Amino acid sequence: MIKQPRIPLLDLILCLSHIIDLISSDLSNHHKRVAYTSYYIAEAYGLPQSERNRILLAGLLHDCGALSLKEKLAVADFEFAYSSTDRHRHGKIGARFFDNVKLLSHIAPLIRSHHIYWNERDDPTIKDGVQIGCHILHLADRVDVLLLDNQQDILLHNKTILGKIKKESGRMFSPELVRIFEQLAQQECFWLDMVSPFIDNILSRKADLRIIDLDLEGLEEVAKLFYQIIDFRSPFTATHSVGVASCAIAISKLFGFSETERRMMGIAGYLHDLGKLAIPAEILEKPGRLTNDEMTLMKRHTYYSYRILEPINGLETISQWAFFHHERLDRSGYPFHLGFDDLSLGSRILAVADIFAALTEERPYRKPMTREDTISILRQDAEANRIDTAIVSMAERNFEQIYNQMSIAQKAATHDYNDFSIAESPDILSPS
Ligand SMILES: [Fe+2]
Ligand SMILES: [Fe+2]
Ligand SMILES: [Fe+2]
Ligand SMILES: [Fe+2]
């Protein structure tokens, strides 16, 4: 009998933030450093622990609304947009991910306005009012883009960063926050910790978020949030993980999995393509087959997810189910080249669910496949000993039931996606 997982929320968010920044070496650890700097400023400003924790979480996720690599790199420019509408766009999109997540809705207002200039603070078009946390995040974020801009040792160019920040005191940044930052900046350890390879440990020790453990229900909620951040980057993948989750739940039920195991299977489905966050959206929605180079890049996605989530105690079973979905029984899969004996029934079910969902979905280069074509491709893979014949036969015998369950779940996800994508239209970004 599998035990219900209990997972520290902070560990999961640290993993997510790590993966988001893998998309480009130019952004490496940006989210973690912004969380770090924000936390120290918030502490020196005298904000209570709960508020510091909120700012830290927002720092770890603040740019998740910058959906394409182009936009991610654009916002890494010190003064990247002169119109405030453009500047706030990704914050507004990002905040939408968190608005309805019980555990994280408190960070949405900070993410929404994390590019607020100090001299815009009374702007009536900014929703939610502007909180000091937004100004702290903005300052920390801009410190980091200045840091990313220079490959020299941090102690050789920290004075240049401080100088640029001070120049913007009263316009981009609050004079009081700039003073606090200037004091922190006098200590070498402040800068060395910021770029330290041990930044995860530093953040974990600072924040008392370790005590927030997710039970199965909390984990499901966070996994659903993660799937939206992964899949809503493109209309072509918007319902993919939901489809995989619901297909895997349906097949695992047919194989006698308990209710807890089925829910864990669903979580594995939501998370299975987590590593795609490290793949530019431009590749994910390419209107044609991928080149060999693009395919090679794509092959990293399960590797990243597995290795990054590996240290989390209690997530082992879900990780194996989720991140072995491109492994094949004859060891021709990737990236670990595992074989039948290495793959649990859960991992084998998820591999079939991933193919089942992908074939029945539309892609930029093809229409959804029919029942016959889907079954025929699954059968070919099973006959070639790439995927499990027993699972494929079970899926074939119960096709309608699995497909209908998947369609219901995907319809609900389409509704959520349409709701979300309204945030990308200019209307929501204009004054209200
Ligand atoms: Fe940003
Ligand atoms: Fe940022
Ligand atoms: Fe995948
Ligand atoms: Fe997938």
- Per-residue pLDDT tens for 409-425? 999 999 988 887 765 54
CA–centroid distance, residue 45 to ligand 2 (Å): 21
CA–centroid distance, residue 31 to ligand 2 (Å): 7
In this prediction, residue 56 has a pLDDT band, given cuts at 50, 70 and 90, of very high
Cα 31 → chain centroid: 11
Name the residue among 108, 86, 87 with its Cα closest to residue 97.
108
**Predicted pLDDT at 425:** 47
CA–centroid distance, residue 355 to ligand 4 (Å): 7
CATH code for the structural domain at 217-423? 1.10.3210.10
CA–centroid distance, residue 9 to ligand 4 (Å): 24
**Predicted pLDDT at 288:** 79
Name the residue among 265, 26, 249 with its Cα closest to residue 147.
26
Per-residue pLDDT of 201-223, as tens digits, reads 999 888 776 668 899 999 999 99
Per-residue pLDDT of 15-41, as tens digits, reads 999 998 888 877 889 999 999 999 999
**Predicted pLDDT at 106:** 94
Looking at the chain, how many residues does it have? Answer: 432
Domain range summary for the chain, segments of one domain joined by + = 8-212, 217-423
Comparing 62-76, 122-136, 166-180, 328-342, the range with the smallest average pLDDT is 122-136
Run of H or E residues at 213? strand 213-214
Judge whether 65 and 111 are in contact, CB under 8 Å: yes
Name the residue among 98, 114, 117 with its Cα closest to residue 106.
98
Distance, in Å, from the CA atom of 216 to the CA atom of 322, rounded to the nearest integer, reads: 16
CA–centroid distance, residue 355 to ligand 3 (Å): 9
CA–centroid distance, residue 302 to ligand 3 (Å): 7
Residues 6+ apart with CB under 8 A from 372: none
Query: What is the SS3 assignment for 113?
Result: coil
Instruction: Give the C-alpha distances (Å, rounded to integers) separating 135 from 6, 119, 129, 191, 363.
Output: 34, 11, 12, 20, 41
**Predicted pLDDT at 432:** 26
**Predicted pLDDT at 81:** 63
Ligand (nearest to CA of 301): 3
Structurally, at CATH architecture level, domain 8-212 sits in: Orthogonal Bundle (1.10)
Say if 8-212 and 217-423 have the same CATH topology: yes
Name the more confident of 85 and 295.
Answer: 295
Comparing 358-372, 386-400, 410-424, the range with the smallest average pLDDT is 410-424
Judge whether 180 and 132 are in contact, CB under 8 Å: no
CA–centroid distance, residue 307 to ligand 4 (Å): 17
CA–centroid distance, residue 270 to ligand 3 (Å): 11
Average pLDDT, the chain: 89
- pTM comes to 0.90
CA–centroid distance, residue 63 to ligand 2 (Å): 5
